[in-house]
């Protein structure tokens, strides 16, 4: 059964499945987590579980970024949503975690 949920930004309904999904929003290492807050708010409003990743400490290399992202992943299936160059890390993250999409 699908539910119709209003999407407040565009004032148009969209269809979603009533099952809860855990979304992990990964920002570009150069921008930080604030870029995802409007999306996180809407996903939470629709009943989804959302983690907005915030890299901690000095990020000096791609390995630092990968390990920082990986440390935020829960031990449950998730949907990874990268922003900008965070997408470069998706194959490595998917290989080490339970990724649905």
Q: Tell me: the pLDDT tens digits for 86-97?
A: 999 999 999 988
Q: What angle do CA 89, 93, 97 make, to 5 degrees?
A: 170
Return the SS3 of 46: coil
From residue 81, alpha-carbon distances to 3, 4, 88 in Å are 22, 22, 12
Provide CB contacts within 8 A for 78, sequence distance 6+.
Answer: 21, 22, 23, 24, 51, 97, 98, 99, 100
Give the per-residue pLDDT at 27.
95
Q: What pLDDT, on a 0 to 100 scale, did the predictor assign at position 58? A: 81
| pLDDT by 10-residue block (mean), the chain, 101 residues | 47 54 93 94 95 90 94 93 95 92 92
Measured distance CA(97)–CA(66) in Å, rounded? 12
């Amino acid at each position: 059964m699908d539910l119709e949920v209003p999407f407040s930004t565009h004032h148009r309904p969209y269809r979603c499945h009533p099952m809860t999904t855990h979304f992990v929003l990964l920002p570009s290492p150069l921008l930080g987590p604030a870029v995802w807050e409007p999306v996180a708010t809407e996903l939470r409003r629709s009943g989804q579980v959302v983690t907005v990743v915030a890299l901690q400490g000095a990020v000096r290399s791609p390995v630092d970024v990968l390990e920082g992202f990986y440390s935020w992943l829960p031990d449950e299936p998730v949907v990874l949503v990268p922003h900008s160059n965070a997408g470069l890390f998706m194959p490595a993250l998917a290989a080490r975690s339970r990724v649905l999409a």
